[in-house]
Amino acid sequence: MRRVLTHLVFRPWWRLSRGMTLGVRGIVIRDPQQVLLVRHSYVPGWYLPGGGVERGETVFDALGRELDEEGGVQLTGVPQLHGIFCNDAEHRGDHVVAFLVRDWSQARTVSANLEIVAAEFFPADALPDGTTPATRRRVAEVFQGAATSPYW
């Protein structure tokens, strides 16, 4: 709860006061051809799980933390870099590092809470209504061989 309230209150100030921000997203793959998506309580749509990299945190640490918090997913191997994307269209100075996550376990499912409304696996070729354009682009790149864009 504290994290959600902090996010809602300080996000506008934080975005304006920092020159550059860095986030991570995990493309968690489950056979056959399924991907984990989450819905947040504070923004509409379905997203790849992830979030901001905190000061002193590596992108791998941030990815592991976010996957656990948002999807109950624990990394059991090294994720593969999918790409580093510029997200200027949504937040000036923002960059997103996306990883393919093939080696993982899920000891628990995430129940709806103040931050996450739902965390579910979907077939890559049948994403739910409301899946964000950036999420659709990343899924198409991974599962359909679409060209990788440098933009989120």
The per-residue pLDDT for range 45-55, each reduced to its tens digit, is 999 999 999 99
Q: What is the pLDDT of residue 76?
A: 98
Q: What is the pLDDT of residue 88?
A: 86
- 26 CB neighbour count, 10 Å cutoff: 27
**DSSP for residue 108:** S
pTM value is: 0.86
Residue positions counted in the chain: 152
Helix (H, G, I), strand (E, B) or coil at 1: coil
Q: What is the pLDDT of residues 12-54, one digit of tens each?
A: 655 555 578 999 999 999 998 999 999 999 999 999 999 999 9
Out of 3.90.79.10, 2.60.40.10, 1.10.8.80, 3.40.50.150, select the CATH number for domain 2-144.
Answer: 3.90.79.10
| Residue 9 clears pLDDT 80, i.e. is over it | no
Domain boundaries, the chain: 2-144
Q: What is the pLDDT of residue 91?
A: 79
